[in-house]
Amino acid sequence: MFADAQSDPSLSKEEFDAQEPRLRAALLKAQYRLLERADRSLLIVVSGIDGAGKGGAINLLNEWMDPRHIHTLAFGAPTFDEQEHPPFWRYWNELPAKGKTGIVFGSWYVPLLLEASRKKPRPRRMTTYAEAITRFEAGLAAEGVQIIKLWYHLSAQAQADRTKVLLSSPETAWQVKPADRKVHKKYDRICRAGQQVIEHLNPPHAPWTIIPSADEHMRAIRTAQAVQQALQHRSPTPRAQVFNAPGLARRHSPDRLAQLDYHTKLDKEDYESELGLLQGQLARAVRSDAFRERSLILAFEGQDAAGKGGAIRRVTHALDLRQVDIHPISAPTPDELMHPYLWRFWRRLPRQGRIAIFDRSWYGRVLVERVEGFASTADWRRAYAEINDFERQQTDHGTIVLKFWLAITPEEQLQRFHERERSPFKNFKITPDDWRNREKWKQYASAANDMLARTDTEHAPWHVIGTNDKRYARVHVLKNIVAALEQTL
């Protein structure tokens, strides 16, 4: 792979001067074309041997391209904030919008490269990191994020020479950090690690390019060429099989909604007593010391008028307002549409000790977007695995994820619609959309059944609750939350 690892090819000043103007003009033209089309964003992952001039290459791109549309995304040690979320959260958070370019420094390859360059890499960890990266990159690529990865390479001799030259003058000596002086000893191991990573994580939708970096001119020209080619030629869409996500769904009947108990009722007195006691249990659980290290995500889905709002208010009544965020989810904003689908949900995840309640959720993609045709078939089909993976990343981090499908019968819905229409202060809740959705009852039910079959996982289970009787439903929502908390904490 590093065939030229010992050769350090170079480019004369004359050759460089001959190529520079044309290349810069082409690069800019391609950048503006991306900006205008805004059909995708570009992520440039910058990695490689220490001292190969990664920082210089980033400066070069900022100088040669229009820097107003480039974001340098440089990640160091995780901040407190970042530590309170799953590892990929920081990268999701910073994704550039369509039309824009992000240069990633300190990328998701850092933990894998560190592991791979140990004396004895631990195979289990290597596999875990590599699989997570594979899913992450494939998911982004499928959502219109083009990824290219640049490996800045130079020989051991060139690395040593560079340090020597820099150290020879006080004007440049500061560029050599203490860590750089130790790095030579590890050259072989880092090289091996890079080689391994490049070989195994080099899919057509997120390819590596090796940039010979000993010579400044060569490095500049090759960097600009790689970026310009990426801007000009869109990468292929990843194949579907890379989305196989962890956590297979549990087996259930294919028509869970039809088999639900819609008719059990709870009288008012029992309801109030049970509700109060459950709220007390919930209040104690989320104020416990054990919960401070965890967090809780509650996602509510269900037919219109199934009682999501009422159920959510009974839950929040038990919570400290300072501990909870409620996110009503409707159609994505223009800004959200310029990012991968799951981006807006990643940004709303609770930090440790906190609770996020979603009134509708990321399941929109396999429900409304599927039924109404807002998402392509390929998009919503792929979403099941993506969602399972998304939730799994949360639960692996220690977050408790519970999902509720609140189900009513068509007859009950009709009655509630009429009731809403008659009320001067509830008629805002009923719109022509609701009536239209009702006509597609069967399509929505079938989408919901598919969703339940494919995303009811051990780590993030669905609770399907009949809500013809609101009291019964609310008590059962609380019961499930309390049970999950008591089991986990």
Q: Which residues bind a copy of itself (CB under 8 A)?
A: 21-22, 24-25, 27-28, 32, 55, 58-59, 62-64, 66-68, 72, 74-76, 79-81, 105-106, 169-175, 272-273, 275-277, 279-280, 283-284, 309, 313, 316-318, 320-324, 326, 328, 330, 333-335, 351, 359, 423-425, 428
Cβ of 408: how many Cβ atoms within 10 Å?
24
Q: How far apart are CA 194 and CA 250, in angstroms?
A: 39
307 vs 466, beta carbon nearer a copy of itself: 307
Asked if 211 contacts 114 with a C-beta cutoff of 8 angstroms, the reply is no
Q: How far is the CB of 247 from a copy of itself (least distance, A)?
A: 30
Q: How far is the CB of 181 from a copy of itself (least distance, A)?
A: 16
- DSSP string of 313-356, one letter each residue: HHHHTTS-GGGEEEEE--SPPHHHHTS-TTHHHHTT---TT-EE
88 vs 243, beta carbon nearer a copy of itself: 88
Count Cβ atoms within 10 A of the Cβ of residue 123 and give its class: 0-12 exposed, 13-18 middle, 19 or more buried.
exposed
330 vs 487, beta carbon nearer a copy of itself: 330
Q: How far is the CB of 46 from a copy of itself (least distance, A)?
A: 9
Asked if 85 contacts 349 with a C-beta cutoff of 8 angstroms, the reply is yes
Tokens 């038990």, located at residue: 318
Q: How far is the CB of 435 from a copy of itself (least distance, A)?
A: 19
Q: How far apart are CA 459 and CA 248, in angstroms?
A: 10
141 vs 315, beta carbon nearer a copy of itself: 315
Q: How far is the CB of 173 from a copy of itself (least distance, A)?
A: 7
Torsion sign (Cα): 61, 66, 69, 71 = positive
One-letter amino acid identity for 489? L
63 vs 458, beta carbon nearer a copy of itself: 63
Q: How far is the CB of 329 from a copy of itself (least distance, A)?
A: 9
75 vs 374, beta carbon nearer a copy of itself: 75
Cβ of 264: how many Cβ atoms within 10 Å?
12
